[in-house]
Amino acid sequence: MKFTNGYWLIRDGIEPHFAAQGYEAEQEGDELVVYAPDHPLRTRGDTLGGVVLTIRYASPAQNVIRVRVSHFEGAINRGPHFELTPDPTFKPEIRVTDNEAALKAGDLTVHAGLGAAWNTRFCANGKVITKNESHSTGYMLDRAKGPFIKDELSLGVGELVYGMGERFGPFIKNGQSVEIWNADGGTASEQAYKNIPFYLTNKGYGVFVNNTGRVSFEVASEKTSRVQFSVPGESLEYFVIYGPSPKQILERYTALTGRPALVPAWTFGLWLSTSFTTNYDEQTVMSFINGMSERGIALSVFHFDCFWMKGAHWCDFVWDDKTFPDPKGLLARIKAKGLKVCVWINPYIAQRSRLFEEGQRKGYFIKKKDGSVFQTDLWQSGMAIVDFTNPEAARWYQGLLAQLVDMGVDSFKTDFGERVPADSVFRDGNDAVYFNNGDPALYHNFYTYLYNKAVFELLEAKKGKGEACVFARSATSGGQKFPVHWGGDCESTFEGMAETLRGGLSLSLSGFGFWSHDIGGFEGMPNAALFKRWLAFGLLSSHSRLHGSSSYRVPWNVDDEAVEVCRFFTKLKASILPYLLEGAKEAHEKGVPLMRAMFLEFPADPVCAYLDRQYMLGPSILVAPIFSPDGEVTYYLPAGTWTSLINGEQREGGRWFTETHGYLSLPLFRMLQNKESSP
């Protein structure tokens, strides 16, 4: 959200109150408190009235500093709050003098000037990495929308910003305005399903804004040398996280917000879907499964999309008896072939669902202030939304899924979770009431956390730890604990393929260890060239799924060569499974994603800072998907010796290559030892 009109002026309707000076500071236990009035205090009379911001500094862990800026501290925060895990054994060092107050947390120290114009510096090992300057910290009263708290951190020359969730626009976020607000908007706009209020830069630190609601970022967009973040209300809390390497930043961030669960080995195989609106029954399903086997393409999971249930009944968790008269028998026949089974679900209960009356009667749905059920016609007619803040509702929902697990289901595709009250698509969204009386605006993004947590924990309870896996679309901070996530509804174009990769790389730099996407794109029918290029990309991603909207995605529906390409890259991925499992272990233990941006693995190489059409799969395998029908690709190999996994050719890196590949090939190289990689 922008508050200024250029460099000199404030926007109409905004009454600004900027921290003008650090007036006083004191230590309260393990917290450093600085009082910052919006005007210099030179005499006793200056202390009368006016806005005074209270800035509290603390540290939940080594190399992490928490900053809390507040105006009125008597405001009620009904929640929700992110589930954070601080280190209870860590204690910061605090020092207050006449001229400065400082809090030291390991190698990271914040210095707040006292008695002079407002300024704070975050220093790592004595070097400034970012700072607050004039007009950075402020209480901004919008006469139409109410109060906001905002802060700004400086950007140095050449400093680049990454992350903020699964964003499909430019990979580097400098120059962008980013709204942290989950939306069901596809992959071709500024909207995103997975919005994470966290960014990191190539200068050795990251910033996590601890607010579950709408966080507005101006990344070198309102002021070109600063990142501004703002939230509505009377307080703003954020963490500055020092690495110095990007891997260490993610390690510290995920230590605070949670690390991905360890996913089972079978999830790394190929998933095949019925697709969305296609017609299918048991005969169709078995023909697909047998067809893949007959063509030598190993499947790991078969997925039933929405219409395993009757249309207009989603969700009632009852198989459509017209197309699947013997679902338990069908699942047994599929599993007898060595496959796992996944089925589509969402957290909405249509009015025609057999479950609607029970959910309404027992108070399991989000309500309106008058006590009625909050309903909408967006997606399913008259649908209600399960209220996971009600423990009984969560257990009810889990019990329904448990019946499917007992029938033979192994995983759930947890679709949706973005269209919940307070969204702009609901004109009466702020009329919503949750069971625990939480703030709908703060629950909008956080709802997906509760939804996926409920499903994931049910699978863990039924299958055991290490065997649970969901296929989730929406997420917020902490959602990385419940893998796997996929990229949502992308277009079947080369442009859609490229934006999908950008989204995945941004998500991986936001703490998410595992990621997938719809091979061939979701919307539209991919042409043969696109489908075959996307097959290589998809089967060299963390997780791999064939899925579409209105067309079957079995490769023989495209052409015979697509079958060959699918078989080739399925076998290739299977051959590196032990390597992938080691990468998965690293994601689980350290928060370093399996599929990672080049910048994450080679932070010292200035070329890698900008690369968004290639990536690393684990620490030593480089993948450069091909985004053109003619097979031409330009890619970069960092310094070192690389060996092609396609033909065994060795190359020396530190330079660019342009070449043309057939469908059974792409730039795919392995470095035996990555000397540039940070620990």
Residues catalogued as catalytic: 415, 418, 489
Q: Are the CB atoms for 394 and 451 separated by under 8 Å?
A: no
Phi and psi, residue 32, nearest 5°: -100, 125
- Distance, in Å, from the CA atom of 592 to the CA atom of 512, rounded to the nearest integer, reads 8
Residue 265 carries which DSSP code?
G
Bridge partners of residue 214, in order along the sequence = none
- Alpha-carbon gap, residue 525 to 493, rounded angstroms: 9
Q: Is residue 444 within 8 Å of 430, Cβ to Cβ?
A: no
CA distances from 195 to 36, 199, 375, 396 (A): 31, 11, 25, 28
Beta-carbon contacts of 158 under 8 Å, excluding residues fewer than 6 positions away, are: 202
Q: Please work out, in degrees rounded to the nearest 5, the angle formed at the alpha carbon of residue 254 by the alpha carbons of 249 and 474.
A: 115
Question: CA-based Rg of the chain, rounded to a whole angstrom?
Answer: 26
CA-wise closest residue to 593 among 478, 470, 507: 507
Backbone angles phi, psi at 411, to 5 degrees: -150, 160
Give the E-state strand segments of 62-126 in sequence order: 64-70, 93-96, 100-105, 108-113, 120-124
Degrees to nearest 5, angle at CA 247 with 244 and 249: 55
Q: How far is CA 363 from CA 224, 293, 333, 480, 641, in A?
A: 49, 47, 39, 30, 62
Q: At what angle do helices 440-463 and 391-407 cross, to 10 degrees?
A: 40
Q: For residues 431 and 526, give the distance between their C-alpha atoms in angstroms, rounded to a whole number.
A: 42
Tokens of 86: 């601080």
Structure tokens that stand for 51 in this block: 């806005």
E-assigned strands of 350-449? 367-368, 384-385, 411-414, 432-433
Report the C-alpha gap between 178 and 169 in whole angstroms: 10
Instruction: Output the six-digit token pair for 311.
Output: 């249309």
H/E run at residue 358 = helix 356-362
Instruction: Compute the distance between CA of residue 366 and CA of residue 641 in angstroms, rounded to an integer.
Output: 57
The amino acid occupying position 439 is: D
DSSP one-letter code for 268: G
Contact 179, 480 (CB under 8 A): no
Residue 509: how many CA atoms within 13 Å on its side-chain side? Answer: 34
- In angstroms, the Cα distances linking 494 to 185, 291, 500 are 19, 27, 10
Place of tokens 């109409």: 12
Helix (H, G, I), strand (E, B) or coil at 267: helix
Q: b vs e for 142-173, b when ≥16 Cβ sit within 10 Å of the residue's Cβ?
A: eeeeebbbbbbbbbeeebbbbbbbbbbbebbb
Rounded to the nearest 10 degrees, the angle between the axes of helix 327-335 and helix 282-294 is: 10
